[in-house]
Amino acid sequence: MTVSPEPGREEPTVKVGARLRHLVVIVGPTAVGKTQLSLRLARTFDGEIVSADSRLFYRGMDIGTAKPTAEEQRCAPHHLIDIADPDETVGLAEFQQQAYAAIDDIHRRGKLPFLVGGTGQYVRAVVEGWRVPRVPPNLALRAELEAEAARDGAAALHARLADLDPQAAARIDARNVRRVVRALEVCLTSGQSFSQQASKQPPPYDVLKIGLAMERATLYARVDQRLHAMVQAGLVEEVQALVEKGYGWDLPAMSGLGYVQFRPYFEGRATLDEVVAEISRATRRFVRHQANWFRPSDPSIVWLEATEAGAAHAAEVVRRWLSGEVLASAAGQW
């Protein structure tokens, strides 16, 4: 999506009063153009960007995560990017705490915060005010539970959660092994049910949620185009540098999309073409997973096409919302 203003026409900058508690949220699938739209809106509305993409936390993982470039980050201040090394873990509770601190700091300075990202769990934790269990990761227990799921099946692990915490089991899909493992981890480590510790208290923000949409076939083509550009930009060398620094494939950062798929390549079990094809398939699965977090039928989200016209419309929606205009919505369309 092209997001720069038309030649010869600069969009006016809109100042935001320091006392306002507005929060603009930009969501959508990977590769749809969230970064470019957020930069355009941040420039127009004197804003700063808070990343809600869990893959952008890690230093040295730039190409494979499509991290905003240094030039892009100079266009608008960014927060929660490069906050950890790949062998560190940034849990949901820690992210939420840092996101609230960044948003509140932006408000204090009279700027407009933009929460931007495709990690649905992280976005909703901030917007809905999840009370996240503050139980630190237990990697040994996680490995044990994951092995149990691999041996006995995801349904069996989910049944174990149902015995310990029926409420959590009712909310978590048995196929989502990662969430089942985390819920069990909290139960077994803390001695309290996951559902008892996970409640909601919405933050004191006036939230506008904008979703970028694109026809699925077109999006898949963009995914493949971006992936090939990443390889040309040095993705293989980036992964090799991480491996040479001793970062293991079992780390959460290294097990992420665009990195773990390289393991058979570096172990001599796959060609680069095979790795690229597997990343493409995995990214398409990820796109479908992202749709489960933010649905087109959600009336709280303003869904716009990822086009120049859509970007211009987004700026108009934000401008009207900041002015206090009450906007009618229908099936997420404004």
**Has residue 146 been placed in a domain?**
yes
Specify the number of domains making up the chain. Answer: 2
Query: How does pLDDT run across 175-202, given as a tens digit for each residue?
Result: 889 889 989 998 998 887 877 666 788 8
**Has residue 4 been placed in a domain?**
no
Range of the domain at 161: 139-197
pLDDT > 90? residue 307: yes
Round to whole Å and give the CA distance between 66 and 32. Answer: 12
Q: Where does a domain end: 151, 176, 197?
A: 197
Strands (E), the chain: 22-27, 47-51, 78-79, 112-116, 130-131, 199-200, 206-213, 301-305
Are residues 206 and 300 both part of a single domain?
yes
Scan for tokens 């796959």, then name that residue: 270
Residue positions counted in the chain: 334
pLDDT > 60? residue 20: no
Round to whole Å and give the CA distance between 286 and 60. Answer: 22
Are residues 52 and 175 both part of a single domain?
no
Are residues 231 and 269 both part of a single domain?
yes
Query: How does pLDDT run across 95-145, given as a tens digit for each residue?
Result: 999 999 999 999 999 999 999 998 999 999 999 998 877 777 788 899 999
Q: Where does a domain end: 179, 197, 215?
A: 197
Is pTM beyond 0.95 here?
Answer: no
Nearest to 29 by CA among 299, 215, 258: 215
Query: How does pLDDT run across 124-138, given as a tens digit for each residue?
Result: 999 999 887 777 778
Query: How does pLDDT run across 196-247, given as a tens digit for each residue?
Result: 666 788 899 999 999 999 999 999 999 999 999 999 999 999 999 999 999 9
Round to whole Å and give the CA distance between 299 and 186. Answer: 33
Are residues 222 and 189 both part of a single domain?
no
Q: What is the CATH number of the domain that holds 188?
A: 1.10.20.140
Are residues 44 and 171 both part of a single domain?
no
Q: Where does a domain end: 148, 177, 197?
A: 197
